[in-house]
Amino acid sequence: MKRYISAFILLCMTTAAVFAQTLNVVVGNVTYQFPSADTDVMNYANGSSVTIMNKTFAVNDITKMYVDDTTVEAATVSVTYSGTSAAVTVSGDIAQYITPTLSGAHVNIAQSDDVADEITYSLAGTSTDGEFYMTGSYKITVELRGLTLTNSTPVYSGAAICIMDGKRVDFSVKSETTNSLTDCASPSSEVEQKSALYCKGHLELKGKGSLTVNGKYAHGIKSAEYMQLKNADITVASAAKDGISCDQYFLMESGTLTVKGVGDDAIQCDLDGDTNTGETTDHEDEDSGNIYINGGTLNLTSTAAGAKTIKADSTLVINDGTLTLNASGAVDISDSTDPSYVAALKGGKVVINGGTITATVKGNASRGIAAYDVETNGGTLTINNSASTATVSSDVKGAKGIKGLNVALNAGTIKITMSAAGGKGIRVGDGTQSSSSGGGWFAPGGGGGGPGGGGQGGGSSWSNITGSYTQGLSDGTGPTLTITTASSQNSSTSNKGIKAICAATIYGGTTEIYTSVDGAEGLESKTSVTIAGGQHYLKCYDDCINSAGKIYFNGGVTVAYSNGNDAVDSNAGTTGAVTIGNGALLAYSTKGAPEEAIDCDNNSYIQITGTGYAIGAGAAQSSTTGTISNAVQGYSFPGSASFKANAYNTLADASGNNLITFMFPVNVSSTCTFITAKGMVKNSKYTVKSSTTAPTDATTSWHGVYLGSTHTGSTSVISSFTAK
């Protein structure tokens, strides 16, 4: 053998001078490939070893040596799987840094810490009992070139691919290749098996091929540090725990990510250390626990108790992309002091700047979005929540479309549908709730649940209130928000469009809220409601707008139509309980006594502080007239009036000038009508006349409110009356 090796080396040296060929040194199932041009110096020592390009081989370990015209890819290790075996090929320039160990199709690559250049590991082939295990401390590239790999009997780990390299790992799923990874369901040890694909360092998934992962023991894909996804088509078809799990941050730029059949969250990102760096420039040295969705397509499904489709330890930011989220499951009460509810999106903060998000939520008391802070600045968000109620520690919990301590809907298109009883479209704020026994809680001024009250019968009060709800921006722009609640009710928890424990301030945007059963209010605040701009329509069986405190109309156009309770109801019980500043309010109730268009327990509690418009039509509690102190413009309680459905009613001065035209889509028999409008002057005469034609020249038209029109009526609805 020694004599043969010596002659072969001499031949190779001669050949290298003439041809650009490759010297192949085979050791078992490992082939080392040296460009012949680089093998002109080979040291053959003591007849027992040979050194080629700084790689020393024991002569007795060499299976064979031969020369061919194979092209050597520099800095590359190729692994080809075939059934129960694998073949490894190492390029000669890095041979000295690579130590392969094979057991059947189980491949262990130890990369020296002395390596100075990035090495590429190229994996291909098929094995039903194999793995790729690699250790090192320098950034690497891993390429999948058509790999189907299942680890049935773990040798080095239970993962299909386990990369114990704490540096950046460029993981490329090559174009037009189909790849699959499955780990061992019952490993002999939990050491180093956290997923089917595991990376100790930074995992950057990319490429234009496809990869399917099955995590039978734990996660589907796990990175101990950050994870990035670009271009590739990644599917986690099943996982015992999370589909995608990483630390530091998760960033998706493009590509397609599908996660289903998981035992916990579809995507989860945790803070790695004890200090949150927040988002850094280009994410350099970032450890935030944040998730960033900048593009691509995500199809995510979670079904486990308390699971989330996307869960960020800190902030979840969606800038673009198409997200289809399916979240269902029971409440996780494994920790009785901290129950966990199913949610589509969960984070300390959830920020939506763009993209198209469709969340379908089922289960028990599940949420579309759950966070301390929720902010929307653009994009399209659709939440379809059919989750039923759940009883947790004797307390009945309903589903929520959005639940947060602070919610700021600045822009975007948001549609929330709550189709099960007890659901709240948006639930915001927090506080200490206290209940009273008996017939109900009566706010000061008689706003309780008894006859004529219209308050919270058998209800509760709140203290130590925190949080905020804002909608729109100060310039009047804002989101397009539509909320629809269920047509059934739960006796323990009522449906709500928006329930704010804190103050609710609406600066702008477009709102439509629809409720249809007893107890289902449109917008309820335990603190106060301010509407300063935008266009808003609330059609509700119960109160359209209800507040334990004051309600301010300071801009925009608001139409509130209740067919089972008050249109606007303040339980503040003090002057200014309902304040008409600027903007326009059309409020009407068709329920009849004692439900009113504007209920603040006594008409004198209304304040008029600006030059806005307010039309109220409904029943009365105890009186049909009142005096409003310090009103800055004229107003009137002109008494009973019958407004026909779809008739266009014009409030005009004595000269016939149009102040406002309004229309009700139903017959409204009003025993307590309230009117104030810009241009009304104390002691001046006004009329309300109707016609069957709609104004065509209105500068503002919104659900029956027409401003800036010259429209006139012909049929008297309210004959001449004098403004106060």
pLDDT of residue 44: 78
Q: What is the mean pLDDT of residues 413-427?
A: 97
Dihedral class, residue 429 (left if φ above 0, else alpha if ψ from -120 to 50, else beta) = left
Contact 220, 239 (CB under 8 A): yes
Q: What is the mean pLDDT of residues 63-77?
A: 92
For residues 506 and 52, what is the distance between their CA atoms, to the nearest angstrom? 76
Strands 504-506, 98-103: pairing is: unpaired
Phi then psi for 499, rounded to 5 degrees? -115, 115
For residues 711 and 697, what is the distance between their CA atoms, to the nearest angstrom? 8
Q: Is the dihedral of CA 383, 386, 392, 394 positive or negative?
A: positive
Contact 401, 424 (CB under 8 A): yes
Q: What is the mean pLDDT of residues 302-320?
A: 97
pLDDT of residue 456: 37
pLDDT tens-digit readout, 6-43: 444 444 444 444 456 899 999 999 999 999 877 767 78
pLDDT tens-digit readout, 365-388: 999 999 999 999 999 999 999 999
pLDDT of residue 442: 29
- Which residues touch 335 (CB under 8 Å, ≥6 apart)? none
Per DSSP, the three-state class of 9 is helix
Contact 529, 523 (CB under 8 A): yes
Upper half-sphere CA count for residue 529 (Cβ side, 13 Å): 26
Q: H or E stretch including 309?
A: strand 308-312
The yes-or-no verdict on residue 705 having pLDDT over 60 is yes
User: What whole-number percentage of the chain has pLDDT above 90?
Assistant: 82
Q: What is the mean pLDDT of residues 476-503?
A: 95
CA distances from 445 to 454, 455, 604, 614 (A): 12, 11, 12, 23
- Per-residue confidence band for 455, with pLDDT thresholds at 50, 70 and 90: very low
- Per-residue confidence band for 433, with pLDDT thresholds at 50, 70 and 90: confident
pLDDT tens-digit readout, 81-136: 999 999 999 999 999 999 999 999 999 999 999 998 999 999 999 999 999 999 99
The yes-or-no verdict on residue 277 having pLDDT over 70 is yes
Return the minimum-mean-pLDDT range out of 3-7, 69-73, 322-326, 409-413. 3-7
Report the mean per-residue pLDDT for the chain.
Answer: 91
Contact 537, 703 (CB under 8 A): yes
The β-bridge partners of 311 are 268, 346
For residues 636 and 720, what is the distance between their CA atoms, to the nearest angstrom? 11
The yes-or-no verdict on residue 241 having pLDDT over 80 is yes
Q: What is the mean pLDDT of residues 245-269?
A: 98
Which tokens is 219 given? 């996660």
For residues 133 and 149, what is the distance between their CA atoms, to the nearest angstrom? 12
- Per-residue confidence band for 77, with pLDDT thresholds at 50, 70 and 90: very high
pLDDT of residue 461: 82
Q: What is the mean pLDDT of residues 666-681?
A: 96
pLDDT of residue 575: 92
Please give the model's pTM, rounded to 2 decimal places.
Answer: 0.92
The β-bridge partners of 212 are 180, 235
Which tokens is 300 given? 């995510």
Look up residue 601 and give its DSSP letter. S
pLDDT tens-digit readout, 552-603: 999 999 999 999 999 999 999 999 999 999 999 999 999 988 899 999 877 7
Provide DSSP, 649-708: EEEEETT--EEEEEE-SS-EEEEEEEEE-TT--TT-EEEEEEESS--SS-SEEETTEEES
For residues 547 and 63, what is the distance between their CA atoms, to the nearest angstrom? 86
- Per-residue confidence band for 393, with pLDDT thresholds at 50, 70 and 90: confident
For residues 666 and 643, what is the distance between their CA atoms, to the nearest angstrom? 8
pLDDT of residue 186: 83
The yes-or-no verdict on residue 449 having pLDDT over 80 is no
pLDDT of residue 438: 34
pLDDT of residue 624: 63
Return the minimum-mean-pLDDT range out of 17-26, 151-160, 691-700. 17-26
User: What whole-number percentage of the chain has pLDDT above 70?
Assistant: 92
pLDDT of residue 626: 75
Which tokens is 119 given? 């090495």
pLDDT tens-digit readout, 649-662: 999 999 999 999 99
Q: Could you tell me which residue, 185 or 448, shows the higher pLDDT? A: 185
The yes-or-no verdict on residue 674 having pLDDT over 90 is yes
Look up residue 83 and give its DSSP letter. T
Upper half-sphere CA count for residue 189 (Cβ side, 13 Å): 6
Amino acid at 431: G
The yes-or-no verdict on residue 443 having pLDDT over 70 is no
Domain boundaries of the chain, sorted by first residue: 2-68, 73-273, 635-722
Question: Which of 89, 80, 78 has the alpha carbon at shortest distance from 126?
Answer: 80
pLDDT of residue 40: 67
CA distances from 421 to 365, 391, 440, 520, 546 (A): 10, 14, 22, 10, 20
pLDDT of residue 627: 84
- Which residues touch 261 (CB under 8 Å, ≥6 apart)? 236, 237, 238, 239, 301
Dihedral class, residue 158 (left if φ above 0, else alpha if ψ from -120 to 50, else beta) = alpha
Contact 575, 600 (CB under 8 A): no
Question: Which of 616, 611, 660, 656 has the alpha carbon at shortest distance from 638?
Answer: 616
The yes-or-no verdict on residue 441 having pLDDT over 70 is no
Which tokens is 325 given? 């989220």
For residues 573 and 629, what is the distance between their CA atoms, to the nearest angstrom? 15
For residues 194 and 158, what is the distance between their CA atoms, to the nearest angstrom? 8
pLDDT of residue 436: 47
The yes-or-no verdict on residue 348 having pLDDT over 70 is yes
pLDDT tens-digit readout, 208-237: 999 999 999 999 999 999 999 999 999 999
